[in-house]
Amino acid sequence: MKTQLQDEDYYALASFRYAMRKFLRFSKIALAAKGGLTPEQYEALLAMRAFGDSRGLNIGELSERLQVKHHTAVSLADKLVARKLTKRKPGTSDRRQVYLNLTAAGESLLERVAVLHRQELRVRSAEMIDALLRLQK
């Protein structure tokens, strides 16, 4: 593994960050316009849909998936519950555990904005993949 960075390494790193920034900018604008969501709220809905089991996704799992502190995940969950996009359900064996599940409104909104994100990633993926492949060399 090479430890010294070359000009092409810096180029690839910068190119990847640039591509990610363009995608994240698109995401922020699309989420606000199409769903009134913040990027963090979208990521939470996406995590619930993708990684929740039959009980849902608990706050600790949400915190890990979003790489945020526990209290930040709780605050985010509060906002999504207030918007009726998710609902809380206490655990059956341990009532201290709280699970989050998408509501029908949450599922519908998530699908609308996820489709936009998939389309945008299809457009931008070649640029991102190219930068990542350069970094593998």
Question: 21: closest CA among 6, 8, 36, 39?
Answer: 39
Calculated CA dihedral for residues 32, 37, 38, 44, nearest 10 degrees: -150
What pLDDT score does 2 carry?
62
Instruction: Let me know: does 45 contact 110? Beta carbons within 8 Å.
Output: yes
State the Cα–Cα distance between residues 109 and 106, nearest whole angstrom: 5
pLDDT tens readout for residues 79-125: 999 999 999 998 877 777 889 999 999 999 999 999 999 999 999 99
User: CATH assignment of 7-136?
Assistant: 1.10.10.10
Residue 73 CB partners (closer than 8 Å, separation 6+): 44, 59, 60, 62, 63, 66
CA-to-CA separations, 45 to 72, 106, 116, in angstroms, rounded: 15, 7, 15
Average pLDDT over residues 10-26: 96
What pLDDT score does 96 carry?
77
Structural domain spans, the chain = 7-136
What pLDDT score does 93 carry?
78
Structure tokens at 19: 């591509």
What pLDDT score does 91 carry?
81
pLDDT tens readout for residues 23-57: 999 999 999 999 999 999 999 999 999 999 989 99
pLDDT tens readout for residues 60-77: 999 999 999 999 999 999
